[in-house]
Amino acid sequence: MAPQLRPAEPDRLSRDALFSMLRNERRREVINYLRDREGPVDLRELSEHVAAIENDCAPDEVTYKQRKRVQTALYQMHLPKLADRDIVDYDRRAGRVALADGAEACLAYLDAVTDRERGDWWRRYLVVAAAVTVPVALAAAGVPPFAAVPGLGYAVLASGLFAAVSVAQALDER
């Protein structure tokens, strides 16, 4: 019996190659931005968006220098790499970028790690810690009415606040 040849499968990204592509924050932001758009976007618009994230400001507050720095990196390095792996369709001449079929493999990984709201939970825990530390410090210094509350009262308050924030985080991340 002669061996049967299977048709070659199209090149798919290995997991290592995919992680290599997603290792760079700019490339992740490009994919996230494009997934929310119906069609191709202008390179300038995309660069402005990424620059706004990197500089923690609104897109209309991005300076020319900030946008140009990002645009140059996207144009020369990131978009060609993503296009080579069929993650984006990149028309260099027209300066237009859109998601390609290969982007589908990236989306599950991006969904798992890029939820910005989840990254802010440390701030909530810090507020709770401050809300407990200040009254305890005032009580230790003997400042009324804080000194009148027993230590157990502050322990119950701290435990309750941290439990409430933990439950809120667990519900949010479901």
CATH of residue 95: 1.10.10
How large is the average pLDDT for residues 27-36?
A: 94
Residue 117's pLDDT is 47
**pLDDT at residue 170 tops 50:** yes
Same domain as 90, residue 150: no
Residue 157 CB neighbour total at 10 angstroms: 16
Least confident range of 2-11, 14-23, 40-49 = 2-11
Across the strands, what pairs with 89? 98
Give the residue from 76, 91, 114 where a domain finishes: 114
Same domain as 139, residue 105: no
Could you tell me whether strands 88-91 and 41-42 are parallel, antiparallel, or unpaired per DSSP bridges? unpaired
How large is the average pLDDT for residues 38-48?
A: 95
Same domain as 105, residue 65: yes
At which residue do the structure tokens 């061996």 appear? 3
**pLDDT at residue 21 tops 60:** yes
End-to-end alpha carbon distance in the chain: 54
Tokens of 63: 């300076």
**pLDDT at residue 141 tops 50:** yes
Residue 6's pLDDT is 43
